[in-house]
Structure 1
Amino acid sequence: MTYISAKPARQDTESLPANDNQRATRTDLSFLDVINDEDEVADIARRAERLGHATLIVMGIGLAAVPLLYFLLA
């Protein structure tokens, strides 16, 4: 009995047709390869957390100061 699947079988590099323009192995392109050092990742996370805290403080000041400014000028 022949098995019929909705998804075609994935072709391996051995089963692909010969072509001089393609590499023998497929390259794995991942953005995670660019970030190699765990210290760099920790530094990015620290900076993002500091920026988030600063944004939260500025938003809180703005939400308190804008109504006060409106009532003072009205």
Structure 2
Amino acid sequence: MTFIQRLDTADVNAANDNHDHVPGSLSVLDIISLANDEKKVAELVRRTERTAIVVVFAMAFCILFFPAVCIALAYGI
């Protein structure tokens, strides 16, 4: 019996991410379809910035007050 090696394009170009493995795959921007409407793009950017600011403040709150809560619970204050 002879071993026949099958070369697949995904195996040959394993480190190359430029090739689509699924033909007709959509990106996030294609799904949202905001390419032609600048108002929708600006609103999406504003919402993203607001969400990022809320996340940063929540992280800062946890970093500042979590040690204080742990110390208070440890010493029974």
Q: Same fold (TM over 0.5)?
A: yes
1:2-17 superposed matches below 5 A: none
- Where relative contact order (Cα < 8 A, 6+ residues apart) is larger, the structure is 1
Q: Which runs of 4+ in 1 moved over 2 A?
A: none
Partner of 2:33: 34
TM-score (norm 1): 0.55
More helix by share: 2
1:1-74 superposed matches below 5 A: 31=30, 34-35=33-34, 36-74=36-74
Unaligned runs of 5+ in 2: 1-25
Identity percentage of aligned residues: 33
RMSD: 2.2
TM-score (norm 2): 0.53
- TM-superposed CA distance for 1:63, in Å, is 0.5
Give the 3 Å change call, closer, same or farther, for CA 52–33 of structure 1 in structure 2: closer
CA distance in 1, matches of 2:32, 2:63: 42
Which entry has the higher C-alpha Rg, 1 or 2? 1
How many residues align? The count is 46
CA distance in 2, matches of 1:33, 1:62: 33
Give the 3 Å change call, closer, same or farther, for CA 66–33 of structure 1 in structure 2: closer
CA distance in 2, matches of 1:62, 1:34: 37
Partner of 1:3: none
